[in-house]
Chain A
Amino acid sequence: MAATTTPAAASTTASRREGPRLEIGQELILLVALTVVIGVLALTSERFFTVENLLNQGRLLTEVGLIALPMTFIIVTGGIDLSVGSIMGLCAILLGYGWKNLGLPLELAILLTLLVGTAAGFVNGLVVTRMGVPPLIATIATLALYRGLAEGISQARSVRGYPDWFLALGQGELLGVPSQLWLLAFAILAFGIVLARTRFGRSLYAIGHNETAARFSGIPVDGIKLAIYALSGFVAALAACIFVSRVSTTRSDMGSGIELDVIAAVVLGGTSIFGGVGTIWGTVLGVVLIQLLKNGLALTGVKGDATIVVIGTVLILSILITNLLQRRKGVEG
């Protein structure tokens, strides 16, 4: 027995050194980065570090923030959902179409929108689980499909003239805070707790690290995947409603490219694109950091379109840095 103890004990030191540190690492780096960004922006522009501006930025990041939450779940399982922007577009169109063209009460149109969004996500989940199509390709296909449906249904017509109560969702305030931020805060809390503390969250990590072993342990892998893709569709539909309410109009190109912002935020937040690693808190930091960078650049006079250059750069750099850090720590297979 004495003989076998030694290798186990030897490897012990290695894992003790790297085990817990990695998880805290990424979020700490982000927190520092966020503080630095806020500090620099506050110094360069007077208009930046005001309650009014920050709350307004919160309003603007709500859609990305919401969609990033289920996206974190999906990426933690080793999947990806590129179709969220298209689902948003399809749902926005259906909201307007149901209300204006079908003459539904707006409440019912919202319900229909949420249902369709969930169904769209559910279809993604079905294609991934039942047909075994890799998520990247499955959702590239539905990205085209859902956007195509949105374009086909809308025929490039936009819908306007929503009632005031609906516009309050995206433009109103509650206790001095933009109304959709309350919703986002609640969602962050719920998603965060589910991922960190529950059976469901634990199963997501297990699936991301080793799907077969999870299946062999009796974890309902397919059911869980179906649930998170459907959830992603539902949240995209919710974001669509908030988006329509915020900008008072409906167009078929809504949400196009938002998957980029969302994935950038999630990955920047420390979630591994290979699955198994990531937290909701990291994602939230990622979302906030990207939005503030955009805002800060805009305030210092950079044109709006150039800010997406920043997102792309940040996305690549953040993974690059994580990779380098991990390699330095000598993670051996």
Chain B
Amino acid sequence: MEHTVEKEIRLKGINVSPGICIGKAYLVGKEGVDVVNKYYISKDNLQNEIKRFKSAVKRAKDKLQEIIETTPEELRQHIHILETHKILYKDKMLYGKTIETMEKELVNAEWALKQVVSNVKRMFKNMTDPYLQGRAADIVQVSESIMQNLVGAKTLDIGAIRKRVILVAADLSPAETSQIQLEKIKGLITDLGGKTSHTGIIARSLEIPAVLGLERATHSIKNDDIVIVDGTAGIVIVHPTDQTLIKFEERQSNYEKYKAVISRSSHLPAETVDGIKLEVLGNIELPEEVVSVINYGGDGIGLYRTEFQYLSRRRFPNEHDLFDNYKDVVEVMSPGSVTIRTLDISGDKGLSYASDPDEKNPVLGLRGIRYCLKNPDVFKTQLRAVLRASAYGHVKILLPMISRHEEVLAAKKLLANAADSLDKEGIGFNDDIEVGIMIEVPSAAIMADVMAKDVDFFSIGTNDLIQYSLAVDRVNRQVSHLYQPLNPAIIRMIKHVADIAKTNNIEVCICGEMASDPMNMPILLGLGINRLSMNPQSIPVIKKTIRSLNIKDTALFVKDVLKETSETGIMEILQHTYGNILQDIGYTD
């Protein structure tokens, strides 16, 4: 037994994905490039290694060229430094020297580059002129972008993890998250991020305990430290004492037992006390998750996010790849329905090959349907794949980020085109496929009556709807407390949309995080929502909650809710009226 003198440290963060795990820490450097490994290259492989370096430089340089080209004329004056950077990429002292080092020492490109850069840095540090001293920063920037391309082109070091570890990172971009081999990860810890961040969603959907927003986790935890992650309580313990270890092992087994109990009843229907059956569906991102939707008793897929297939590669996937994936999901889920949301690339989930790195306000930018309408070829490829999959089960199409009625019409026109082209080729599909829209932009909610005439269903994406309506960035810790699903403005907006759906006799579903919190059920049911889609592991507890509620009561209760003027007031009457029920189903926060 190894004895450590390190003191037990407790860190408090945001409980993002429930569960407890104990294991060794594995730190991921910022951008995955802080830790540079050195290894030797055989003479035979040297040319390949040099080629790898050259193509990394080229990619970095091309990217910069793109930035320069897309900079508006009036700002060109200020980007001369970028022109300098462009030349620096091929500078003898950087480019030539790195290749020289590789040839001389037979080392990998990353290591050679690192050596060269630190030499150059030293040279500049010794200079007296502060301007020149500062130029070291330019060289570092240029070399870092090469390094990112080097590391990214091979595998990010997250991809190379061999043992089962607890991943510790400052932050994980969706692109990085997609590179993690998740079966190697026991738990997740990050400095940044919150409940509804992409990392959080992924952790929950894969049932990996996660605590995010710890702020200084990467400073307090070292590689191979023993760490306990309590994703239920939002606590991370570093260097636990023996007593702590025993306590948490016990908690871990209790949690597993609780999970087993709750999933046993998960296949009972979601029928209220007064006999109304609700549809409870799962949100998925990876095709493999269909299995957990079925295991947890989901009636279908209410939201199939399709970005992952675009994120995990270097170029746009082709129709065949997409179709294969969709068909898998549809066939496994059949006869249950699968609602496929078309590509919603956003700033948060930028594709390196198709995004503008300088976009200031990506959530308000070119994303979702806007991106697809601007890139009809990309869109049409996906629409054809979805249509083809519709021949194999019950498929619905969901259009994201709709903010104007014209977008619905334009998208439907492209869909009709895609259908025509399949028809001509004699490829089968469901020509009566249901088309719905996400209600996540306030303008779409306000215009719901107009939208309803042209769509078959609404899907309320509460995450974005709340963020846009309350003007709160849910990832920003300074304001994330203002992100309140039970804000009266949100409840009114949902009511408005649900009422319009009812008058127009179209379906309405809630597919944001809001649908996975038992606490919200009395209100959502009372508002007349009868379809809910959520992360698969929330399905059992939500179904159990629904089975304990009475629709007539909730409708009356909502009348009182609508009189309240703040979320605090709403929470109070919720506790007062439904506190017992929520406690009974084992719901604690």
Asked whether A and B interact, the reply is no
Interface of A with B (CB < 8 Å)?
none
